[in-house]
Amino acid sequence: MTRVPDTDLAVAAAGLVKTFGDFRAVDGIDLEVRRGEVFGVLGPNGAGKTTTLKMLATLLPMDGGEASIFGVDVRRNPHMIRQLVGVTGQYASVDENLTGHENLWLFGRLQGLSSSRAKAMAADLLERFGLAEARDKQISAFSGGMRRRLDLAASLISQPPLIFLDEPTTGLDPRTRGQMWDTIRDLVRGGSTVLLTTQYLDEADQLAGRIAVIDRGIKVGEGTPDELKTSVGSSTLQLRMSDPAETADAAAVVRRVLDEEPVLTPEAGGMNAALPDANRAADVLIALRQSGLSIASATVQKPTLDEVFMAITGHSAEDETDAEMEVAR
Amino acid sequence: MTTQSTLLPDRETAEVLDRTLVARPSLRDTVDQSIAMAWRAMKKMRRNPEQFFDVTIQPLLFTAMFAFIFGGGLAGSVQDYLPWLIPGVLAQTALTACMATGTQMREDMDKGVFDRFKSLPIARIAPLAGPMLADVLRYGIAATLTLLTGFLLGYRPDGGVIGVTAGWALTIFAGWSLSWIFAWLGTVARSAQAVQGIGMMIMFPLTFLSNVFTDPETMPEWLQKFVAVNPVSQVVTACRDLINDGNFSAHVGWAVLGCSVVVAVFAPLAVRSYSRKI
């Protein structure tokens, strides 16, 4: 028997590579997830998030790099890794032909729980995930949100110390999405370590303590949501003029006060300007008043992760192809 | 990585976060997991009873149909043909049922739940062995119904209870063994339709170019050679010896050995290609 030195890192991965033919889906990604944190992997469709997660979960062989989970080598000890990680996939991986309770019981039995213990765990999880009334319903009768919750419950039945959530809310309506977020927050309060992938910038912002931004198989940024946002500049001032004809004059005033070129948004009859400090907004407004220019609205906004993504990669999060999805099939 | 030197691949267990991890599932775990998977397959069968069509209707239909079509022409009368036909149809229905095992496995593997099975710390063979174990029930139904139809048509085998039971058991064993070929097909084929198509291509020559329906003596010599090495012929001959004569002949030994070889070759192949599938 070997005692693995206790490590503070739940996941330590260096130089992960996965190629599908000529396509480098994951091209040298390093990840360090500390124990007890929620770590978000953010990127558009096809960036390599799911592929990275699948390699760490032993579902795909690694083509390059090293990875360990709680100190256990992923490549050499796949069976041990599977005992440490609960995986919830993008598509609910539960059995259509079984009821909610039967699904959880089966997954419990497969992982060595006694029949009665598996029953108790299943009942408890169904209760916790608000699925108690659906326990004897076949999954084919479940709604999308219920399936996802059951799927998450299924990955918790063996109480794994690390949970992988692969795009947990993709395709859910906003209300169900909010419920799923609450469930994930509860999970984290219970002390689990979570590695989460998402293409939704607000989801990473809401749930993750630290975020790695991935684009085209490469990690392009990492930090807390606030650090990432600060890296783009602190806030944006959005202005709309009462008379769109005065926009050019107003832009000249903004340029003078902030020493920064505002971005005109003609369709909105206004402009956006980066503020080094939110307080400088007042200077701009006073200067506009003194010049006799009248504004219809003025808002100061913290940068969104969308802007972060733009700033880091030079393109928006939405415009990437689904190349990886196609190749991965 | 600093951890590699501390955790050697040949260690059986490791302590991580107060958990004892095992490097691979034990035999006991593998059996338990396969039984849990068989339970799942049984539930699935019970909720989709159309899965029983091929093992209920076909034995009734084929036995009666072939007895009345070929009986007079090949053996003079239906009565005289039955001892030849019934063991043959037994093997044929078992083979057909095998094909369904492969097709259903392929269908099943396309479902999301198989992603979860792959991520669980379970023996890689369990998701395959479970449904195969449950399908023993289907072969059992097929074999029982074929024999009953035969009895109904007036078949009175001389093998006695022991001989008939042994023939019945051999049919089920042959069905289970040969289904590993189709399970392997299921793991390499692109779709359930492909399994069905390839399965048909294997099934037809195996059942018709055999001694299932007629004595190979009447066939051209080149065909006789194929019939002689056809594993189905071996199983059929063994079943005839058992059921008609209660004779545990060398054919029985060869049939059991042949089936075991099939399992020994195709079970590892199936597990290997299943584990590789994304």
Decide if pLDDT at A328 tops 50: no
CA A306 vs. chain centroid, Å, equals: 12
The pLDDT of residue B2 is 40
User: Counting beta carbons within 10 angstroms of the beta carbon of residue B2, is it exposed (0 to 12), middle (13 to 18) or buried (19 or more)?
Assistant: exposed
Find the mean pLDDT for residues B66-88: 87
Q: Say if residue B249 is exposed, middle or buried (CB neighbours under 10 Å; 0-12, 13-18, 19+).
A: middle
Pick B244 or A302 by higher pLDDT: B244
Contact (CB<8Å) B115/A2? no
pLDDT value at residue B168: 94
Q: Where are the domains of chain A?
A: 9-229, 235-302
Query: Cβ distance A262 to A241 under 8 Å?
Result: no
- Which residues of B, range 46-85, sit inside 8 Å of A by Cβ? 47-48
- Euclidean distance between CA atoms B249 and B192, whole angstroms: 38
CA distance A222 to chain B (A): 21
Task: Give the chain B residue nearest A115 (alpha carbons).
Answer: B36
Chain B residues inside the 8 Å CB shell of A12: 1, 3
A25: CB partners within 8 A, 6+ apart = A18, A19, A48, A51, A217, A324, A327, A328
Determine the pLDDT at residue A66: 93
All residues of chain A having their beta carbon less than 8 Å from the beta carbon of residue B17 are 6, 70, 84, 161
* pLDDT score at A241: 86
Nearest C-alpha in B relative to A97:
B44
A82 vs B6: CB contact, 8 Å cut-off? no
Identify the residue among A95, A150, A157 best suited for mutation to test binding to B, counting B beta carbons within 10 A and taking the highest.
A95
A278 pLDDT above the threshold of 80: no
User: Closest Cα of chain A to B170: distance in Å?
Assistant: 31
Q: Which residues of B touch A3 (CB under 8 A)?
A: 14-15
pLDDT band, very low/low/confident/very high, at A305 (cuts 50, 70, 90): low
Cβ–Cβ gap B118/A59 under 8 Å: yes
Higher pLDDT, residue A234 or B30? B30
On chain A, the residues whose CB falls within 8 A of the CB of B33 are 109-110
- Virtual torsion, Cα A91, A95, A96, A100, nearest 10 deg: -100
Q: Note the pLDDT of residue A92.
A: 65
A280-294, B3-17, B151-165, B178-192: which range is least confident on average? Answer: B3-17
Nearest Cα neighbor of A46 from A327, A323, A329 is A323
- Indicate if ipTM > 0.90: no
Worst-scoring range by mean pLDDT, A39-43, A120-124, A229-233, B209-213? A229-233
- Which class would CATH give A9-229? alpha beta
**Closest residue to B119, CB basis, from A73, A80, A87:** A87
Q: Tell if the CB–CB gap between B116 and A89 is shorter than 8 Å.
A: yes
Question: B20 to chain A: which residues are within 8 Å by CB?
Answer: 1
Whether pLDDT at B6 is above 60: no
Q: What per-residue confidence (pLDDT) applies to A211?
A: 92
Domain A235-302 has CATH 3.30.70.100: yes
The better pLDDT of the pair A130, B141 is held by: B141
**Among candidates B6, B43, B112 on the partner chain, residue whose Cβ is nearest the Cβ of A98:** B43
Distance CA B206, CA B219 (A): 15
pLDDT at B8: 45
